[in-house]
Structure 1
Amino acid sequence: MTLHADVYWSFRSPYSYLATRRYVALTEQYDLEINQRFVYPLAIREPDFFEKNHPNWLGYVFRDIFRVAQHMGIPMAPPNPDPIVQDIATRKIADEQPYIFELTRMGQAASRRGKGLAFANEVSQLIWGGTAGWNEGDHLEKAAGRAGLDLAELRAEASTQSKELDAEIAENQKALEAAGHWGVPTLVFEGEPFFGQDRIDLAVWRMEQKGLAPR
């Protein structure tokens, strides 16, 4: 019996990146299908989020993501460019955001095709894995190709169906909150949320109780 789970995910979230390879591995190891549900980052949903946090918060996150990546043997580097244009010193989010809207809409377009997880996996490795200028040249085109997708098709859909895709992305956010959380990455299985890259083993344990079986 194939089990089903939803993963709520953002391109700006380093922890989403750190979790994604393991989500992919789960679908390869087990009879499990994961529906990738993209949401906009907190920087878009709550622009003052970073300014409200404790001054140590951002520094700790940076320290933590790099040690987690080192522990797991995953390449990690500050994104260049950052999917969210932000003044790190003041934490202020810029009014103009040239990357995140198209990225997220393309991700949701990929999810429409049942390949959202594969697209997230390939593109996040560009953004967080050390590829400078990931938005330039043919980096995204090749990443989409590795996920079995056509970047030009996704980009056109993100442009011509932006309102429809944004409505789906907003529904994803509502569904995440209805499941009992607000942050990403969150895996939801049978209505139970498992937030963070450090709760994947716990999610597997729960799914095994419900009959999760190796492929």
Structure 2
Amino acid sequence: MSFKSLVLSRIIAFITDQDRRDKRADKFEAKRKRAGDPHEVIFFHDVTDPYSHILLLALPDVIKDTDIKLTCHLVNEPKDDVVPERVMLSDYALKDAQVLATRAGFKCKLIPPSDQQVKKVRSAIAAAFVENDIRTACNISKALWSDENIPDSEYHWQQSQSEGTAILTKLGHYMGGMLYYGGEWYWGLDRLHYLETRLRSVGALTKSDTFPMPSVPASTGKVHGRLHMYFSFRSPYSYIALQRAIALTDAYGVELKLRFVLPMVMRGLPVPKSKRLYIVNDVAREAKRLGLPFGRIVDPLGKAVERGYALMPWAREQGQDIRLAQNFSTAVSSQGIDATTDKGLRRIVETAGLSWDESKEKLLIDEWSAEAEINRQELTNHSLWGVPSFRFEDKCVWGQDRMWLIEEWFQDKNRE
């Protein structure tokens, strides 16, 4: 392992260390109590984002009958460097937010708003936020996403949105739909349960989770089919998703087909520092919830990814591609193993029950790059770009947060 890789690995391990995170939370609470400050949750709202809208709808019930102080800010849409495929994301987010809203029990049909409606709503919601009137803000947002009449407002929203975006940036984030409490970020309805758990732990909340994360697999069955998983050896979310996809497909007898693609950076798509930091912290939190090791990362970007992909077609022929992918992602995400070295890669290969001598020969053959491009193009054809993504028959979904949705697909198929 190079000195740079060693240093970066230790920095990430420090950042994601749970004991350190717990001590930081305890320190924050002690300081808050000494100052006599309330439990202040900060919400950053992007009026163009359907995930922000769904989260906003949930917040009045979260803070009802509590002494939680909810501070709301309007923010700009995220910059291009954190949303490299803006059009595809907008289309996908609308569909996914609708699925999420339905699962959470919100009776609404999301209709994409016009630019004129968005401009009108910015003013009305900014005025409601200034008055700390969360119920009115919810009603205005409902009107926006339901194509209903939006009340007129003369409030000059530009300064409020600029100030909100500045606060978001100063605190270390880059997009709306976020909640912030005591140094930790919570994205959308999918991460609200973490905030609620934390608030319960400090006595600020007594009610149960608004949107509990479904357990997956929740059942078993016998389903004939194939689940395609588009993944990257560099993606921490792919690491978590792979472990979960294996368990889910095993429970239903579904074939798991792995489709590797180049990491976003190796495809020329930017991933800024603020986004990388949020991802590793979020994955650490998710890994703890799921009982998976995480944190001793050796970034496989470049050579290590290429070496790993070079072995995948051969491992597939041996019936060991899933095991190799599982070992590789675990090694670079939680065991501090450098796959750029023969020592590191050999350990990964042999743990998968494969021959190191044979694998050395396969490393010299470039069969993988054409396959990676085919997989990327297929992903794009399904209007997706990021990993992990999944396809089952004609249904596609992005992200390990939707494993419960994939299980619903399996259950629907099982009932046919």
Please tell me the TM-score bracket, short chain as reference.
0.7 to 0.9
Greater mean alpha carbon deviation, residues 185-194 or residues 145-154: 145-154
Q: Which residue of 2 aligns with 1:14?
A: 236
Structure showing greater radius of gyration is 2
Report the CA distance between 1:138 and its aligned residue: 4.6
1:49 aligns with 2:270: yes
The within-5 A match list for 1:34-73 is: 34-46=256-268, 48-50=269-271, 53=272, 56-73=274-291
Q: Which residue of 2 aligns with 1:149?
A: 354
- Structure 1 contact 78–130 (Cα < 8 Å) conserved: yes
One-letter amino acid matched to 1:174:
Q
- TM-score by length of structure 2 reads 0.43
CA distance in 2: counterparts of 1:6 and 1:154, whole angstroms: 25
In structure 1, list runs of 5 or more residues that go unmatched: 85-96
The within-5 A match list for 1:7-156 is: 7-46=229-268, 48-50=269-271, 53=272, 56-80=274-298, 82-84=299-301, 97-133=302-338, 135-136=340-341, 138-156=343-361
Q: RMSD in angstroms over aligned alpha carbons?
A: 2.4
Report the CA distance between 1:179 and its aligned residue: 2.1
Q: Which residue of 1 aligns with 2:210?
A: none
2:368 aligned to 154, 162, 165, which one? Answer: 165
CA distance in 2: counterparts of 1:133 and 1:145, whole angstroms: 15
Change (3 A) 1:127 1:205: same
Q: Which residue of 1 aligns with 2:378?
A: 175
- Structure 1 contact 31–212 (Cα < 8 Å) conserved: no
One-letter amino acid matched to 1:144:
V
1:104-141 Cα distance to aligned partner (Å, 9 max, x none): 22224323444322211111111101334455465433
Change (3 A) 1:132 1:157: closer
1:204 aligns with 2:407: yes
CA distance in 1: counterparts of 2:389 and 2:411, whole angstroms: 18
In structure 2, list runs of 5 or more residues that go unmatched: 1-222
Greater mean alpha carbon deviation, residues 143-152 or residues 185-194: 143-152
Greater mean alpha carbon deviation, residues 184-193 or residues 145-154: 145-154
Q: Which residue of 1 aligns with 2:95?
A: none
One-letter amino acid matched to 1:129:
S
CA distance in 1: counterparts of 2:369 and 2:415, whole angstroms: 33
Q: Which residue of 2 aligns with 1:91?
A: none
Aligned length: 194
1:184 aligned to 376, 387, 390, which one? Answer: 387
SS at match of 2:364: helix
SS at match of 1:5: strand
Runs of 4+ in 1 over 4 A off after TM superposition: 134-139
One-letter amino acid matched to 1:58:
R
1:4-51 Cα distance to aligned partner (Å, 9 max, x none): 1111110100000011111111232221101111111011111x512x
Change (3 A) 1:104 1:209: same
- Structure 1 contact 37–116 (Cα < 8 Å) conserved: no
CA distance in 1: counterparts of 2:398 and 2:267, whole angstroms: 18
SS at match of 1:159: coil
- Structure 1 contact 109–165 (Cα < 8 Å) conserved: no
- TM-score by length of structure 1 reads 0.79
